Amino acid sequence: MISKLALLPMAALGLTLAACSGEPSEAEMLQAVSRFASSVYQQQAAALAFLVGPSRGGVPQVPTITAFRKLGCEPATGGASGHVCQFEATMNNGKGETRDRARFFKAADGSLAMSIN
């Protein structure tokens, strides 16, 4: 028979694993979307600087999320980890509010990452 003391570490492990598999909060999603938008911006700015030259201007404005709202999430399917979530975001790029879906998952460093594929 297993003692109650021996069950404590197993219960703690179960809670830890459950916390890892839960859907992301709105704040976590906002951070992941911000990091993703920043990464895309850096890639576009580098490509544009390469094509037109860094001194010719034309580098796009740094994107900033001015409003964000989580609409809902469901577990990812097809063997993918994380959750597929729908959200609304407004950015300072003049395009207004957009509604999108993306997969959110834990990155190797423990942060929440986003994939649009």
- 81, 104 contact by CB (below 8 A): no
* Residue in the structure block whose two tokens are 């986003």: 114
**What span, in angstroms and rounded, lies between the C-alpha atoms of 104 and 68?**
15
- Would you tell me how many other CB atoms lie within 10 Å of the CB of residue 37? 18
**What span, in angstroms and rounded, lies between the C-alpha atoms of 39 and 27?**
19
Q: Tell me the mean pLDDT per 10 residues along the chain, length 117.
A: 44 40 92 91 78 63 87 95 96 84 95 90
pLDDT value at position 58?
Answer: 58
Partners of 115 in the β-ladder: 103
- 104, 85 contact by CB (below 8 A): yes
